[in-house]
Chains A and B, each alone.
Chain A
Amino acid sequence: MIEFTDVGLRYGQGPEILKDLNFHIEPGSFHFLTGPSGSGKTSLLKLLLLSLKPTRGRVKMFGKDVTDLNQDSLLQMRRHIGIVFQEFRLLDHLTTFENVALPLRVLGQPESAYRDNVVELLEWVGLGERMGAHPALLSGGEKQRAAIARAVIGRPDILLADEPTGNVDPELSLRLVTLFAELNRLGTTIILATHELPLLDSFSFPRILLRDGELVFHA
């Protein structure tokens, strides 16, 4: 599903942020992406989200070399990828329901077509009673569950998460990763970036370890 071959990335004329990355990710797998701050986790996630192209090497996703794709093809491919951020990035003026429904709304679907699915998903993530609330009134855990629901409402094949537990307490972190594990059990490929060791030790998923932009461990 995802194949990196000799991938390097640099911003402008700066030093290489990612160097000689070679790895392969199978569909339906769950990987932790870990490493110290500044190791290149977020840059790697940006490559996986197709918001950046590698400066060298080859990235293949869904069997296609992304470096050869035009904007339209990248957009179509991006719709198969969900993303969850540490800082949630919900739109403050929209309700929880509207935030979660946003990926379907931008595809031009009428509300009548997606309403039941959104309500069902919000109930599944435990926000059934909060769907009319705006983000400002949600707790950190509720915001992150809403962000996860928004990322998966379009049934993506790959779900990326950039430090999704960074703004919640350890107990809620475990519950959120359990939620990701449940999504993975339903068939979604998950890559979850975190540097929280206790969290990593609580689950037996394989890890991609980065240090100074280099892949030092993948198992």
Chain B
Amino acid sequence: MPDARIRSSGTRTAPIVPERSVAGRTLVLLIAIMTFLSAVTLGGVVLVQKSAIAWSSDVGREVTIQIRPMPGEVMDSNLRTAVALAEATPGVATARALSLQESQDLLKPWLGDGLDLSSIQIPRLVVVQLGDPTDADIPKLVRDLQSVKGATLDTHAAWREQLNAMSGTIVFSGLLVLALIVVATVLAIVFATRGTMASNREIVDVLHFIGASNSFIAGEFQGRFLLIGFRGGIVGGLAAIIFFFLIGITTGNMLSGGASAQIGVLFGRFALGFDGILGLAAVIPVIAAVTAITSRLTVRRFLSQTS
């Protein structure tokens, strides 16, 4: 009984479905690519969503009072009145009138450096920071500002709506792409599973003849596909995390400080954060589960057709 002795000393029983018979490497590579695409898409969606929320939140915390020069009106007096009215409004944290120099500086990008603005009267701004945007009594401030000639209040609502619409469209498109990638992954796994089942038909027939149930046979194949799904998922998921890490470093190093800051303002910094990385890592078990469930359903269908 030499083999019995070997077994009792710990030799592993060979799997019923041989490892080489399952289209392993190709499927691992395919799932790795699909996982990478899913993770990159998901990461992009997370970045856009995070940036949009942060941007919208920043813009929403600030309203601007603009006071146009009016004949017979003293600008400095109107500015003081506007600041006082703003500070008296519930929910307002601070209100500050921009100096003449600051107001002129704001026009430089459009009018250029060489123009002398001291000879013309320009509109002046009061920057109002809200303590809590939801509690701020903006309608009261609008009513109060009617006493200041030439004053208007800009809540940036149009900008925020535009921003939300744009980010929502990008997020929706990203999720649509993600869904298509998952569908493509499922289809690829279905074809790979069918091929594997066809090439292992002899094993399936023998297992049927010796009394194996369909669920047992499906379980033998499912275990293989779950392993393949995990391998592919880990490779693709890690590649995506490294991709975002490298992109973050690259944008930080290749662009000048100013350009990097502007990109940061517009698109957010290419940093997913801990929760983002957790989200990407969650793609791995999801892809493995999709692989296992898809292959199991395909195997069960194959078995019900052949048995």
Interface residue ranges, A against B (CB under 8 Å): 49, 51, 71, 75, 78-79, 83, 89, 91, 93-95, 97-98, 102-103, 105-108, 111, 115-116, 119, 128-129, 131-132, 150, 154
Contact: B7 with A115, CB < 8 Å? yes
Question: Interface 1/0s, chain B 101-125, versus A by CB < 8 A?
Answer: 0000000000000000000000000
Residues of B within 8 A of A93 (CB): 14, 18, 21
Q: Which residues of B from 209 to 263 have beta carbons under 8 Å from A?
A: 209-214, 216
Shortest Cβ gap from B302 to chain A (Å) = 15
Q: How far is the CA of A95 from the CA of B202 in the complex (A)?
A: 17
Give the residue of A51, A75, A97, A154 whose beta carbon is less than 8 angstroms from that of B3. Answer: A97
Contact: A119 with B1, CB < 8 Å? yes
Q: Is B13 an interface residue (CB 8 A)?
A: yes
Contact: A150 with B210, CB < 8 Å? yes
Give the residue of A79, A94, A128 whose beta carbon is less than 8 angstroms from that of B211. Answer: A79
Q: Is B203 an interface residue (CB 8 A)?
A: yes
Residues of A within 8 A of B156 (CB): none
Q: Is B68 an interface residue (CB 8 A)?
A: no
Residues of B within 8 A of A131 (CB): 1-4
Report the nearest A residue to B6, measured CB to CB. A132
Report the nearest A residue to B3, measured CB to CB. A132
Residues of A within 8 A of B13 (CB): 98, 105, 111
Contact: A95 with B208, CB < 8 Å? no
Q: How far is the CA of A145 from the CA of B214 in the complex (A)?
A: 27
Q: Is B77 an interface residue (CB 8 A)?
A: no
Report the nearest B residue to A98, measured CB to CB. B14
Contact: B1 with A128, CB < 8 Å? yes
Give me 9 other A-B pairs in contact (C-beta within 8 A), A94-B16, A95-B3 excluded.
A91-B16, A91-B202, A93-B14, A94-B14, A106-B210, A119-B4, A132-B3, A132-B6, A154-B211
Contact: B4 with A105, CB < 8 Å? no
A-B contact pairs, 5 of them (CB 8 A): A89-B206, A103-B211, A115-B7, A116-B4, A119-B4
Residues of A within 8 A of B14 (CB): 93-95, 98
Q: How far is the CA of A49 from the CA of B307 in the complex (A)?
A: 12
Contact: B209 with A75, CB < 8 Å? no
Contact: A103 with B3, CB < 8 Å? no
Q: Which residues of B from 175 to 221 have beta carbons under 8 Å from A?
A: 202-203, 205-214, 216
